[in-house]
Amino acid sequence: MFDRFFKGAGYFFQGLGLLNQKGIRRYVWVPVLMNMALLVIAVRLIQGWFANWQGFEQGWLSWASWLVVPLLVLLVIVVFGYFFSVLLVAIASPFYGLLAGEIEQRQGVVAADEPLWHLVGRTFQREWKKILYFIPRYLLLLVLSFIPLLNLLMPFLWFVFGSWTLALQYRDYSLDNLGVSFPDSRQQLARDRWAAVGFGAVVSVLMLVPILNCFVPPAAVIGGSLWALEQRREKALPQ
């Protein structure tokens, strides 16, 4: 269990170490600049939300504010972090598809050639499938977050589910390039759940670190691609 958890986390750091390599940088900077712009928007929205809670300590739950307010703050940060992560990767998906393709070539895996316009359409279509998978589950967690007592557990549940979705998100670019369907991509990830949680947990935590979080998505794409390709090679080996 723990060995797979740390193995999953290690894939991300492999990706982080390759960010500045020649041939990879060109696929990194446009998504990074997009991430910076979305980060500014997210900070402004969070500031506005907290301003509306200034009178909370004088409200009917003032006796529990020492516990509830920190949990609500954590919940808001986690929810906004995952929401803007999904939004960013949806917009930047063509760049991430190209980045995953570069990693595939470096690993000796050559996908079929396709025009740029076809790649853009394919990646946007794939992102739509992911969004349709994510949204109902996010909404369920959001509803559960308003149930008394249960809401105390929600930051943990958001973190675990968010880690799973981030692992699924960033591994999928390479698999999409290689023609693996989204359901098959999910099944492959389900066979290595603890690695998924380890990978996604690192991404989740580092997405909360200012400046560094702008470089997390491309590093996760590289790490996720290395992971998916390694799993693909292991599956092809004779048993």
Block mean pLDDT (10 aa), the chain, length 239: 90 94 86 77 68 55 58 63 68 90 89 82 92 89 84 84 92 93 93 93 88 88 95 65
Query: What are the contacts of 118-125 at 24+ separation with CB within 8 A?
Result: 119/94, 120/94, 122/97, 122/176, 123/93, 123/94, 123/96, 123/97, 123/173, 123/176, 124/90, 124/93, 124/94
CB distance 198 to 7 below 8 Å: yes
Inter-residue contact 180 to 61 (CB < 8 Å): no
DSSP string, 82-123: HHHHHHHHHHHHHHHHHHHHHHHHHTT--PPP--HHHHHHHH
The predicted structure's pLDDT at residue 90: 77
Please name which of 237, 64, 236 lies closest in space to residue 151, comparing C-alpha atoms: 64
pLDDT value of position 41: 74
Q: What is the DSSP string of the chain?
A: -HHHHHHHHHHHHHHHHTTTSTTTGGGTHHHHHHHHHHHHHHHHHHHHHHHTTTTGGGSTTGGGHHHHHHHHHHHHHHHHHHHHHHHHHHHHHHHHHHHHHHHHHHTT--PPP--HHHHHHHHHHHHHHHHHHHHHHHHHHHHHTTSTTGGGTHHHHHHHHHHHHHHHHHHHHHHHHTT--HHHHHHHHHTTHHHHHHHHHHHHHHTTSTTGGGTHHHHHHHHHHHHHHHHHHHHHS--
- pLDDT of 189 reads 92
> What pLDDT shows up at residue 237?
44
pLDDT at 186 (0 to 100): 93
Q: Taking the model in full, what pTM does it have? A: 0.79
The rounded distance, in Å, linking the Cα atoms of 229 and 207 is: 24
- pLDDT, position 239: 36
